[in-house]
Amino acid sequence: AKALRLSGGDHIHSGTVVGKLEGERDITLGFVDLLRDDFVEKDRSRGIYFTQDWVSLPGVLPVASGGIHVWHMPALTEIFGDDSVLQFGGGTLGHPWGNAPGAVANRVALEACVQARNEGRDLASEGNQIIREASKWSPELAAACEVWKEIKFEFQAMDTI
């Protein structure tokens, strides 16, 4: 990731924390900081072994993908914020009404989470409630919530410290 940033790359898969490409949350957050921030303090718990000053070197967009769907949106919004790429493959194409309604469901979920975050709500504890509230006025999101309610990926993270 550092080499990509130094060479002018614009995006890289950074790990997702949720979905099927799970990684350790703190390590992923440290990785995202290295990609986007101008100055990053040493923090071994986040996989950052020395302070790094990127000065004005352009950042790299973190990409999250792999088994993500509307129920993951609160966590994705909390982890990656506004400057990221969220690739919902099956989370869009698996919508029972087709691709376009799948995209609408993801966008409605994203906008609901961003609005809730900006209002000061806690996405970690209120995330499911935020999605349920938004699904009341979006039939596309309601259908997606029904499809993805039982999907779980249960395994140990591989990239641990």
C-alpha to C-alpha distances, 84 to 14, 117, 119, nearest whole angstrom = 10, 16, 20
pLDDT in tens, 10-36: 999 988 888 777 778 899 999 999 999
Burial class (CB in 10 A: 0-12, 13-18, 19+), 46: buried
Taking only the tens place, the pLDDT of each residue in 88-121 is 999 999 999 999 999 999 999 999 999 999 999 9
Name the pairing type of β-strands 11-13 and 39-40.
Answer: unpaired
Question: Confidence band (pLDDT; 50, 70, 90) for 160?
Answer: low
Q: Evaluate if residue 51 carries a pLDDT over 60.
A: yes
- Entry pTM: 0.86
